[in-house]
Structure 1
Amino acid sequence: MATEIKAPTFPESVAEGSVAAWHKKPGDSVERDELIVEIETDKVVLEVVAPEAGTLSEVLAEEGDTVQSDQVLGRIGEGGAKGDEKKSEAKGEKGDAKAEQESEATAEPESAPAAGGQTHEVKAPTFPESIQEGTVATWHKQVGEAVKRDEVLADIETDKVVLEVVAPADGALQEIRAEEGSQVESEAVLAIFAEGAGGGAATAADETPAASADTGASDEKIGDKILAPAARKLVAEHDLDVSRIEGTGKGGRILKEDVQRAVNEGSAKKAEKPAAAPKQAAAAPVVEGERPEKRVPMSRLRQTIAKRLVQAQQTAAMLTTYNEVDMGAVMELRAQYKDTFLKAHDVKLGFMGFFVKAASEALKRFPDVNASIDGTDIVYHGYQDIGVAVSTDRGLVVPVLRDTDSMKIADVEKGIVDFGKRARDGKLGIDEMQGGTFTITNGGIFGSLMSTPILNPPQTAILGMHKIQERPMAVNGKVEIRPMMYLALSYDHRMIDGKDAVQFLVTLKELLEDPARLLLDI
């Protein structure tokens, strides 16, 4: 009886994914829990393992296909005879491993990959439903270079994370079909990989450099130099003289590393560049010197952020209400206990812990602010999962703290520090950035005095923190200098009335100006 291979259950904010790579072909034998296919979503690559031992009998979702949560990807049949027969036909294997090695030793270079083993299509991971495509960021291996099983071949950059594509077996790349900088869809074929092909493939590539250049999807020849796409992009960014760059790739092909080396050494700058300045000066006498420009493609993460921010403003009736909070009490409490807190919990006491706890309490009192809209339904959440916006070099990500009502301030601070470190390293998982009920963003760390945060759908509210600034305030009939912070609450008016939004923000203000309320639940 055939066993179905199903896609994983995606989080609520992920609608679909893409089949990135099948590690087995129909007819191949598989073991229970052996990696059989990868599904790439907009944030991470999900591994699908064999539910039972047997033979892969049917593939229903090819590499590059878009699949839904729990969709059937293929089927596993009993036994392994069929797989053995197919492998025997493909490889021409009639003896044991020793005979195969002897065949490799005596074969001509052109047939070495076939003698070493079968070929595989190296595919992009299966993207989640919210990710349409990715960009080939870096190839870590070149055609003919020997690699080990599970060694990283390439990096695919999506709108949120960088996904790694690994080698399906020991061998070498025969052909690269998606060069660096190329846009690829889920499960698109990136390269052809041959098992046990290291030396032979390299020899064949060396003997036919022109053919290798022709098969590259987007190699370009400038003069007598052949440039890889990533190298061409870097040359354009730094306006370099290609003739001064020495290529180390097959057939003298200029790689990204060669261009980077030339940039660092400053050995490929164009001598003609200063000569262009007089023409510019003649056209615009008031401008002196060079006026350089650099054009680079927008990252996948930045494109997705832009799309979702615009979508949030177009689909929600978004309003923002403001208030200000006196941070004196929190700052005094923090100054009094920061050293003790650090020794006890091995983490610094920051402001975010107080805001997360205060927001958790306020969300319990105003369930509309903690709800979300799903089509024509309103979903009320009986828990508080608060997303904390984290800025990285690639863009903004929002990992989620789960059940913040039951967390201690120390747990909140530890979670935020961990999120920040892993976000900057690109190590956050898809499950850690899905399913929040409310979001807090802190523009104050960059000096923002006031802003209007944009909703993070399907959530209906987001809180914006800002810079603490000393201002003269009337306190008990006297003017005092107090550390004040503006708070901004953006909310979806389709779900939340103005009265509830204002009262929610006032509750936050009261809890932060008197932190004892958090302990006394008043």
Structure 2
Amino acid sequence: MATPVTMPKLGLTMNTGVISRWNKKEGESVAKGEILMVVATDKLTFDVVSPEAGTLLRIVVPEGKDVPVGEVLAYLGQAGEAVSGVAAPEAAGTAPAAPTSVASAEKASSRSAALPAGLRATPLARKIAREEGIDLSAVAGSGPEGRIVRKDVEAFAASAPESRKIKTSPAAAKAAADLGVDVSSIAADGRVMKADVLKAASPASVKAAPKDVRLPLTPMRKVIAERMSLSKATIPSVAYDMDVDFTALAEFRAKVKAEGAKRGVKISYNHILMKICAAAVKDVPLANSSFDGDAIVLHGNVNIGLAVAVDGGLLVPNVKAVQEKSLLEVAEETERLVDQARSGKLALEDMQGGTFTITNLGMFGTKSFTPIVNPPEACILGVNTITEKPVAVDGAVVIRPMSVLSLVADHRILDGAEAARFLARVRELAENPWLLLL
């Protein structure tokens, strides 16, 4: 008896899923534990393995359809086994044969219409006739079976009255041939140019402009669009930019990076900034909170998400309880999440529970940008490129590595003074990283 394959529940909050890709086709054999399909949820994509060995008898749900958890997606069984009561899915993307045939016929017709029926001419004779604007039907052919050859066209051009001679540029001649325009009917001062031919051509004959391409939204892009729209529609956010001197932070990073390398861990500015933000939250707890209707929820843990660019979108896995972890632990956990995000192996738990987000576009050279708050969080910190700039220090102008930190905050939670105080504390810790030890 055929075994139904249903939409699995891949997380506590999952209600529906989309078949992103079938790895097997109907009639193909599949081993137990082999990847049968890829399912996309509102947050992630998952490889779903076959519950048993057998043959994929019938695919009930095609790729791209959103279905609830528990709905039958396909049937597995023995080769040749019938699946009763299930209609075969309509094949997607199958183009009718008739339009193709018509299009081919029209194309062939346009080629054959280059010369009147029964009229034959060599390619060189046609080229010269196009350039000279000569109607080949008026030329007598001297070649085999009356074929018009080069000397026939040249002789006709030499004997034709001046009114019959039309000088045409090669580009104009080609355009006239493609568009079916009679160059002898074009009134032009001197030589007929391509612009003259295009002007004389009927609008229907002119080649159509390149068509727009419609890209269907992937499940991930749909979620990004929904969440960003929700953020802009419901969160009255305000952006704050602040210059930060990275001199001390660069020195600090160089030292801890060397120590981390001994332990096989690469420590980046992102990891240090995560610890800095977690420490700054102690002074401004509202930066680590959420707006919940008639209350503001102050979160006990600082779960910091780091925006990761992946194919087709953006994922924001978060490191839990950053305030309790060492810098080394934060770096290890962050890099694990980044690797899993890019390889499509994140768990739903890694995407849930975030309370603060950092997004870094510095590697692209951005000097300032305004990130969008990730609901239901209160803040997001944008990190920009580090650039050497002249700055005044103790009355002298010196060159320092400077960057702009861009904070966007939910104004329902943080007033301007609170948001600025948080960002100022982040700057203080960045410019004096030893304060993290206190």
Would you say 1:322 and 2:241 are equivalent positions? yes
Match of 1:335 among 254, 259, 264: 254
Cα deviation code 1:46-80 (max 9, x no counterpart)? xxxxxxxxxxxxxxxxxxxxxxxxxxxxxxxxxxx
What is the aligned partner in structure 2 of residue 8 from structure 1?
none
Equivalent residue number for residue 218 of structure 2: 299
- Look up the match of 1:248: none
- Compare 388-397 and 214-223 and name the one that shifted more: 214-223
Kindly provide the amino acid, as one letter, of the partner of residue 167 in structure 1: S
Instruction: Give me the whole-angstrom Cα distance separating, in 2, the residues matched to 1:278 and 1:326.
Output: 64
Corresponding position of 1:76: none
Name which of 222, 242, 247 aligns with 2:95. 222
Over the aligned positions, Cα root-mean-square deviation in angstroms equals 3.2
Q: Distance in 2 between matches of 1:132 and 1:348?
A: 38
Give the counterpart letter for 2:288 in structure 1.
N
Write out aligned runs for 1:382-401 (5 A).
Answer: 382-401=300-319
Are the structure 2 counterparts of residues 296 and 278 from structure 1 closer, same or farther at C-alpha, using a change threshold of 3 Å?
Answer: farther
Measure the CA separation in 1 of the matches of 2:370 and 2:93: 46
Closer/same/farther in 2, CA of residues 220 and 472 from structure 1, 3 Å limit? closer
Distance 1:223 1:308, change over 3 A: closer
Match of 1:384, SS state, is coil
CA drift at 1:447: 2.1
Query: Hey, what's the Cα distance between the residues in 1 that align with 2:299 and 2:375?
Result: 15
1:166 corresponds, among 23, 46, 49, to 49
* Matched ranges for 1:415-426 at <5 A: 415-426=333-344
Distance 1:217 1:122 in 2: 19
Q: Which protein, 1 or 2, shows the higher relative CO under an 8 Å CA cutoff with sep ≥ 6?
A: 2
CA distance, structure 1, for counterparts of residue 254 and residue 75 of structure 2:
60
- The alignment's TM-score, normalised by the length of structure 2, stands at 0.70
Uncovered stretches (5+) of structure 1, i.e. residues with no partner: 1-117, 206-211, 226-274
2:124 corresponding residue in structure 1: none
CA 1:278–1:392: 2 relative to 1, 3 Å: farther
Equivalent pair of 1:358/1:518 in contact (CA under 8 Å): yes
Q: Name the SS for the 1:414 alignment partner.
A: helix
Residues 221 and 427 (structure 1), Cα distance of their counterparts in 2 relative to 1, 3 Å cut:
closer
Mean CA deviation greater in 503-512 or 168-177 = 168-177
Provide closer, same or farther for how the CA distance between residues 517 and 414 of structure 1 changes in structure 2, counting only shifts above 3 A: same
CA distance in 1, matches of 2:9, 2:257: 46
Report if aligned partners of 1:159, 1:305 keep a CA contact under 8 Å in 2: no
Larger Cα-atom Rg? 2
The one-letter code matched in structure 1 to 2:8 is: P
In 2 relative to 1, CA 471–477 (structure 1 residues): closer, same or farther, beyond 3 Å? same
State the percentage of identical aligned residues. 37
Q: Please report how far the alpha carbon of residue 128 of structure 1 lies from its aligned counterpart in structure 2 after TM superposition.
A: 5.8
Deviation (angstroms), 1:293: 4.9
Residue 36 of structure 2 corresponds to residue 153 of structure 1: yes
Alpha-carbon distance between aligned partners in 2 of 1:123 and 1:160, rounded to the nearest angstrom: 20
Structure number with the higher strand fraction is 1
Task: Give the paired residue count.
Answer: 340
SS in 2 for 1:405: helix
**Equivalent residues in 2 for 1:31-430 (5 A)?**
118-126=1-9, 133-194=16-77, 197-198=78-79, 200-201=80-81, 215-219=88-92, 221-222=94-95, 282=198, 291=210, 293-343=212-262, 345-430=263-348
1:449 aligns with 2:361: no
Secondary structure in 2 aligned to 1:126? coil
Deviations 1:61-100 (A, max 9, x none): xxxxxxxxxxxxxxxxxxxxxxxxxxxxxxxxxxxxxxxx
Q: Distance in 2 between matches of 1:383 and 1:159?
A: 25
Asked whether the equivalents of residues 11 and 348 of structure 2 are also in contact (C-alpha less than 8 Å), the reply is: no
Structure 2: gaps (5+ residues):
99-174, 180-194
Moved more, 146-155 or 413-422: 146-155
Q: Which amino acid aligns with 1:507?
A: R
Preserved CA contact (<8 Å) 1:440 1:464 = yes
